[in-house]
Amino acid sequence: MEAKQLTGSQAVLEAFIAEGVDTIFGYPGGAIMPIYDALYDYNDKLKHILVRHEQGGIHAGQGYARTSGKVGVVFATSGPGATNLVTGLADAMIDSTPLVCITGQVFAHLLGTDAFQETDIINITMPVTKWNYQITDATEIPHIIAKAFYLAKSGRPGPVLIDISKNAQLQKFDYEGYTPCNHVRSYRPKPIIRKEYIDAAVALINGAKKPMIAFGQGVILGKAEKEFKKFVEKSGIPAAWTILGLSALPTDHPLNVGMLGMHGNYGPNVLTNECDVLIAIGMRFDDRVTGRLDKYAKQAKIIHLDIDPSEIDKNVKADVGVWGDCKETLPLLTLGIEQKERTEWVNLFKDYAQKEYDQCIKDEIYPKTEEMTMGEVIRIVNEVSKGEAIMVTDVGQHQMVTCRYAQFNQSRSNVTSGGLGTMGFGLPAAIGAKFGALDRTVVAVIGDGGFQMTLQELGTIMQTGVDVKILILNNQFLGMVRQWQQLFHDKRYSFVDIQSPDYIMLAKSYGIDGAKVEHRDQLAAAVKTMLESKGSYLLEVMVGKENNVFPMVPQGCSVSEIRLK
Amino acid sequence: MNEEKQEYTITVYTENQVGLLNRIAIIFSRRKINVESLNTSPSEVAGIHRFTIVVVENRDVVNKVVRQIEKQVEVLKAYYNTNDEIVWQELALYKVLSEEITEKVKVERLLREYGARAVAIRKDFIVFETTGHREETNRLMEALAPFGLVEFVRSARVAIIKESAGFHEKLKDFEKREPGEELIENEYLGKREAVFTM
């Protein structure tokens, strides 16, 4: 049989279909035009979302990947199109989000000549991609794209960038079909689980009097939520989360004791320094979680489960490093451990939670002040959504408040920029999140600062008709920086006073309904209107200008020095 | 754990791929670690490249860096060794004016003493080579300096790991389509008795 002749561009799209891609976020341009030309004929099989900026495209790809559990796919052209992806790549790299980004490149014979819209995107993106590769010959396309998808989603996931020169996109070649990749000899996505790790970890857990779990996104990325829940329930160990681990265990689960780190809950932070065994699962001891390292859980034996061996011992020395996929390691641990109830120890967390509620949370979610608070807005969202909504956040005070107070019944419901802290992430990520979970409600909670960084994506919402509820918590400040300036820089408010346009009018000009709430008596009804509206909606809530997020572990302090006020 | 800084030789087995040198280099530059010496060459296995990298750092840092290197998709395996665990050599070339050598007996004696070999002899200059550890090649450089050493250059270190059984078997292991059996080093696992008493 004679092989079919395809262009490189067609081969890219055939590969996508074979990989089960349904949605592409992208922006056309000169060097990627052949691919877009081919896309014209694939319109019935591949949905392309035209974004307003490549950064919006890649954040949407991230949002899509985070809610769907699939690989996010992004197109951009060469030069500025490609460099606009860099922030999203860095974000996806540090938050382990599987992406395949295709960038156009100038003709191969022009490489290195400073051609129009030429940039060395391979070298630029090397530190922020799990893998990248430049294709200058179309015959490489099928197996390189296969490798790209395999690398993006296997092991510890991450972003992959494939740069394809224009001649390779145009080149016709004998297409012999698509074979998915499942092995690269120089790459070990995960190891065989070694019994000695498991035995050692089981022995530590069974001997522990006051054990505690710290879980991260590894549980979600490993699709191991069920295995994790079984482990938690059999062991009876209180479990606290990082913000990327949030929603892996329902927030109302009796053993879910809350958030770790700088703005986390009182109990888990204080008791990190009192537990005797700390079981870290798919988390990487980020400095925002650990606070001062030399005073972090020094009394505890550390068990660290991770699929990435370079994370074990990186920040916190593990007594037992359990290298492996937590979908495989957790059931082995569950099998070995004794069923226990640790009432006294769990009650200690409850005591701390009560203290935190009395001194801190109550005034945040049921404020007595005239000014509205971010916490009460999130509480009302919870009351209406019943914990079923996907919450996408930007970066700053509203992000911490949302992570602290939002309720989640199911996994893959919290989408936020954790490691990189990318302001401007929220709106485009929410668009992608919705495309990744079309049957769910998506609420984008965004501050007045971050919203103004990527508000051009309102155009994407307008054009695609995607249903995203936008909740702007406007404190008329770059709130988190202002909070630090207040606490640590003698209230010298240096360039944090930020003005906003009329967001409602702005939304209207994009055909999006909206409302602004300045008084508490309208709040509950307005939130309800937003969540029940057909299609997108923008709700702006004016909250207290100088409210702070507490509790807080000041920088340079130990987690047990957390301040409630 | 945080012992003194010393020389570590990092041996990296990789696929032969454009851009990999940069991927490895940025792991060092990101942490502001100066690379003392870097050599890339074929390895004992056809198609597999071998990097030999020398840094002066403490074990903890080197251990983390090596794990980051190993994490790169095209890296098969990376090892790190202290100087007493390897056999290594560097090669040095010295250009000396011919008249200095012909006129001064001392120079000739010096070259013989250091086992230098002439690799190019011309009317105006002679190029010598020696191999050895850095101190050895340095000493000859210093000794020749008063006699008009015109040019001096030294290669990167190449090193053989004393305990290594080569990479042939390892590669077969890597080519299997299943997860590997290697384990991350865990100092605790060797002395579990001590840890289990709480």
User: Is B15 at the interface with chain A, CB within 8 A?
Assistant: yes
Tokens of A364: 């945040």
Binary contact (A127, B74; C-beta < 8 A)? no
Query: Quick check: do B6-86+161-176 and B87-154 share a fold?
Result: yes
Partners of B129 in beta bridges: B93, B117
- The DSSP symbol for A293 reads G
Distance CA A176, CA A4 (A): 7
What is the residue extent of each domain of chain B?
6-86+161-176, 87-154
CATH classification of B6-86+161-176 is 3.40.190.10, yes or no? no
User: Is A180 at the interface with chain B, CB within 8 A?
Assistant: no
User: Is A183 at the interface with chain B, CB within 8 A?
Assistant: yes
- Calculate mean pLDDT across residues A26-42: 98
Of A329, A186, A157, nearest in space to B176 by CA: A186
Q: Cβ(A451)–Cβ(A472) under 8 Å? A: yes
Of A98, A101, A94, nearest in space to A51 by CA: A101
| Residues of A whose CB is below 8 A from B180 | 188, 191-192
pLDDT above 90 (res B169): no
Tokens of B85: 């665990």
Q: Cβ(B20)–Cβ(B14) under 8 Å? A: yes
Sequence-distant (≥ 6) Cβ neighbours of residue A264 within 8 angstroms: A240, A258, A289, A404, A551, A553, A562
Distance of CA B123 to the CA centre of its chain: 35
Percent of chain A with pLDDT over 90: 98
Distance CA A512, CA A379 (A): 24
Q: What pLDDT is recorded for position B197?
A: 37
Binary contact (B76, A310; C-beta < 8 A)? no
Domains belonging to chain A, first-starting first, are 4-175 (3.40.50.970), 195-347 (3.40.50.1220), 372-542 (3.40.50.970)
User: Is A455 at the interface with chain B, CB within 8 A?
Assistant: no
C-alpha distance from B118 to closest chain A C-alpha (Å) = 41
Residue A453 DSSP SS3: coil
pLDDT above 80 (res A232): yes
Each residue of A277-320: pLDDT tens digit? 999 999 999 999 999 999 999 999 999 999 999 999 999 999 99
User: Is B183 at the interface with chain A, CB within 8 A?
Assistant: yes
Please provide residue A367's backbone torsions phi and psi, each rounded to the nearest 5 degrees: -65, 145
Q: Cβ(A111)–Cβ(A119) under 8 Å? A: no
Q: Determine whether A329 is exposed, middle or buried from the number of CB atoms within 10 Å of its CB (0-12, 13-18, 19+).
A: buried
CATH number of B87-154: 3.30.70.1150
- B149-154 and A277-281 beta bridge pairing: unpaired
Q: What pLDDT is recorded for position B193?
A: 45
From the candidates A116, A176, A299, A488, which is the catalytic residue?
A: A116
- How many CA atoms does the CB half-sphere of B153 hold within 13 Å? 4
**Which one is predicted more confidently, B171 or B196?**
B171
Residue pairs between chains A and B whose CB atoms are closer than 8 Å? 92
Distance CA B167, CA B75 (A): 13
- Calculate mean pLDDT across residues A221-249: 98
Helix-helix angle A374-385:A520-532, to 10 degrees: 40
pLDDT above 80 (res A210): yes
